[in-house]
Amino acid sequence: MEKTIEQAKGILSRAELLEGWQGHRRLTRRVIEAFPEKEFFEFRIGGMRPFADMVKELLAIAEPGLRELVEGEKQEFDEHRDYGNKKADLLTQWDASTEAIDTLWEKLTDEKFSETVVLFGQYEFPVLWHIFYFIDNEIHHRGQGYVYLRALGIEPPLFYER
Amino acid sequence: MEKTIEQAKGILSRAELLEGWQGHRRLTRRVIEAFPEKEFFEFRIGGMRPFADMVKELLAIAEPGLRELVEGEKQEFDEHRDYGNKKADLLTQWDASTEAIDTLWEKLTDEKFSETVVLFGQYEFPVLWHIFYFIDNEIHHRGQGYVYLRALGIEPPLFYER
């Protein structure tokens, strides 16, 4: 592996990573929309959280996390923030975060992605891996949302449509 | 966006992408291990497939898909391949694919990741996005496996441990 560690970081651009992330966010938004109002906040399987609570976790990570990575000012990780008690309230916040992510992204340079940063006061990784974690964690919980929808007899959005 | 499209692909190396992928594969392996033998092949929610069938899909994509991307020879997408009817048989195939992926990866160049390729006779994307799709699809189905485990009263492996 010695040899490969020296490789140039030559296979992904900032713009491509953002487009990939926003594509996932568009799909997650459609998964939220697919839930009936009541079940979004209440339906659960095996002692897990309702999908609304998973979405609150995603909201607590994406924009605040990127803001801390970009601006350096420590953000609080708060997955119980009150956005209102309707699905539409969480969708409004989702869209606001989507816009904020686009704006914050413009301040990132290629060099920044290699910088090791402590996020939310405890997670220490290079910026690139923080962002991959944000995305992977969203895919992970969204996949769980798919099971909830199927258990409710609802056809989820197509996974490959972004 | 015009400006950003011109960006250098400067934030991720081949070695890093492989390490990220293999990290996910190690976690998926632990999720497979966490299933009881019978439930791995039979337990399902909401008309979805048992986790064993999802794993067969992942096996049908990862090594054969990467082989076609690297070697150019068209591979058949077969998610019903017979690996044997025990969890240990699928784990054996999982490990063989893990090794094959490492070996195939050595033949990839940075330039290759930008090449647009038709995979399994129907999916046309740049190589980079095929590989991201392999990984994202694995995270997606593994997340569903987490719900199955929770529904079975089994604590899944920690998501962030790779």
Residue A69 C-alpha, separation from nearest chain B C-alpha, in angstroms: 15
Q: Which amino acid is at A26?
A: R
Neighbours of B161 (CB within 10 A): 9
What's the mean per-residue pLDDT of chain B? Answer: 95
**Model confidence band, residue B161 (pLDDT cutoffs 50, 70, 90):** confident
Calpha distance A25→A21 (Å, rounded): 6
Q: What does the pLDDT average to over A12-39?
A: 98
- Burial, B15: exposed, middle or buried (Cβ in 10 Å; 0-12, 13-18, 19+)? middle
**Model confidence band, residue A8 (pLDDT cutoffs 50, 70, 90):** confident
pLDDT 10s digits, B72-127 = 999 999 999 999 999 999 999 999 999 999 999 999 999 999 999 999 999 999 99
Calpha distance B34→B32 (Å, rounded): 5
* Sign of the torsion angle spanned by Cα atoms B74, B75, B77, B78: positive
DSSP state of A158: P
Q: What does the pLDDT average to over B52-57?
A: 98
Q: A124 has which bridge partners?
A: A118
Among residues 99-158 of chain B, which lie with CB inside 8 Å of chain A? 110, 113-114, 128-129, 132-133, 136-137, 139-144, 146-153
Share of chain B above pLDDT 70, in %: 96
CA distances from A104 to A62, A72, A97, B108 (A): 11, 12, 10, 33
Fold classified for A13-151: Four Helix Bundle (Hemerythrin (Met), subunit A) (1.20.120)
Calpha distance A129→B19 (Å, rounded): 11
Q: Which amino acid is at A25?
A: R
pLDDT at residue A4, as a whole number? 47
**ipTM field:** 0.95
pLDDT at A2 over 60: no
Phi, psi values for residue A79, rounded to 5°: -85, 5
Among residues 2-61 of chain B, which lie with CB inside 8 Å of chain A? 4-5, 7-18, 20, 24, 45-48
Calpha distance A9→A5 (Å, rounded): 10
Domain parsing of chain B, residue ranges: 13-151
**Model confidence band, residue B6 (pLDDT cutoffs 50, 70, 90):** low
CB contact under 8 A, B146 and A144: yes
